[in-house]
Amino acid sequence: MTIRMVSQLLSVAMLLWMGGGGIAQAEQEHSLNLPPESIAQWYKPQNKRQVWLHTMFTLRRSMQAIEEYAALEDGERLDKWSAKFLTQYRSIAEMVPQWADEVEPQWADRLEQAVTKRQWSEVSTALGKLGMTCRSCHQDYRAVTAALYRAPKFDQVVVEDSETLEEVSFKDAMNSVTHSMNGFKIAVDDQRLEAAADHLQRFAQRMRDLGSSCASCHKDEITKSRILGADTTALFDELSEKLQGDRQGIGRKLGELGVVVCARCHGVHRTLSDLTGLLR
Ligand code: HEC
Ligand code: HEC
Ligand code: HEC
């Protein structure tokens, strides 16, 4: 028996002895690569436009055109689109110098030669090689870059509290909303009806205040009303009626509100905002 086998047996024995708890308790880690900070100059607010993203769209579009015109052996149109493609592809290393290793300038040169010489199958070989550089950079950086530079930033949004007339952070507004929602639920459970009515009124008001913050990013009314529109107002009215009536089904209504208002918006905005916060 070699030393390695002995040590393997020992570790298996250890695991069995620990009842497998060693595995269950081991924390899983996953590390992410962050894009170089120099990419910020190609995004808002440093730039007027989302230049990086538009460069990318041009790359994909011109790649498709190159493929099509190489297949059709249409040299004139191929010249036009390959020139467009090459300019953008070669600009990657200039835009973000730290990413120079992510691109293959020699395959860009090969593409250029094949286009000039009308070597149709060479064009497609070179395009295939270049396509691999797109995929590998995307695997490492695409999602993280989009989250860092294009996700809405809620830490810069304020909500006006109509009771105190103060502007509070979005996070504080969320905590106030949660506080009055749970205050209502607790008071109903314990049959403190006046307190419940107070909490409900404040809860509804805080949701209206929250609704006025959507406009800082959403210019259209529709987006807001999908989550904080007439349906939500109706839910609050029903809760109020039930509180004054026999109080049957209040819990269910509140649960519905939690799903169609809180969870629906969290699905769009909170998860991404939390993840982006971890990356910053
Ligand atoms: C050096 C890294 C890098 C290389 C090489 C690269 N990309 Fe990208 N690409 C990115 C990053 C980062 C994003 C995310 C940008 C964002 O979402 O704001 C992206 C996003 C995109 C998008 C938009 C996201 C989508 O799928 O809708 C397209 C299209 C795209 N790239 C095409 C290409 C093509 C085609 C190539 C190769 C010819 C390429 N890219 C090469 C880094 C790279
Ligand atoms: C910091 C900016 C920002 C704020 C504040 C904001 N949103 Fe958004 N929201 C976005 C962006 C960006 C998108 C994705 C693109 C789009 O639809 O405009 C989006 C998408 C959505 C969507 C999915 C698209 C749709 O139209 O259904 C919903 C729903 C939504 N937001 C609801 C809200 C509500 C409700 C509020 C206010 C309580 C709000 N958002 C506040 C930036 C924001
Ligand atoms: C814009 C749509 C939106 C709506 C509607 C919404 N939330 Fe949120 N919520 C968010 C976002 C975005 C965050 C993350 C904010 C941050 O960390 O800056 C958040 C965070 C929270 C947090 C964590 C706060 C903290 O201290 O980290 C709680 C709790 C919360 N929401 C409860 C609720 C409840 C309860 C409702 C419904 C009554 C609700 N939210 C409705 C978007 C929304």
Rounded Cα distance between 139 and 233, Å, is: 44
Here the tokens at position 11 are 């570790």
Rounded distance from Cα 268 to ligand 2 centre (Å): 7
Burial label, 261 (beta-carbon count in 10 A; 0-12, 13-18, 19+)? buried
**255-267, pLDDT tens digit by residue?**
999 999 999 999 9
Indicate whether residue 239 lines ligand 3 (CB < 6 A).
no
Indicate whether residue 137 lines ligand 1 (CB < 6 A).
yes
**117-175, pLDDT tens digit by residue?**
999 999 999 999 999 999 999 999 999 999 999 999 999 999 999 989 999 999 999 99
Nearest to 90 by CA among 130, 48, 32, 141: 130
Nearest ligand 1 atom to alpha carbon 43:
18
What does pLDDT average to over the chain? 92
Rounded Cα distance between 22 and 265, Å, is: 38
pLDDT (mean) for 226-241: 96
Rounded distance from Cα 170 to ligand 1 centre (Å): 32
Question: Which residues are CB-contacts of 276 (< 8 A; sequence separation ≥ 6)?
Answer: 147, 148, 151, 153
CB atoms within 10 A of CB 40: 16
b vs e for 159-168, b when ≥16 Cβ sit within 10 Å of the residue's Cβ?
bebeeeeeeb
**17-75, pLDDT tens digit by residue?**
444 444 556 788 989 999 999 999 999 999 999 999 999 999 999 999 999 999 999 99
Rounded Cα distance between 229 and 6, Å, is: 68
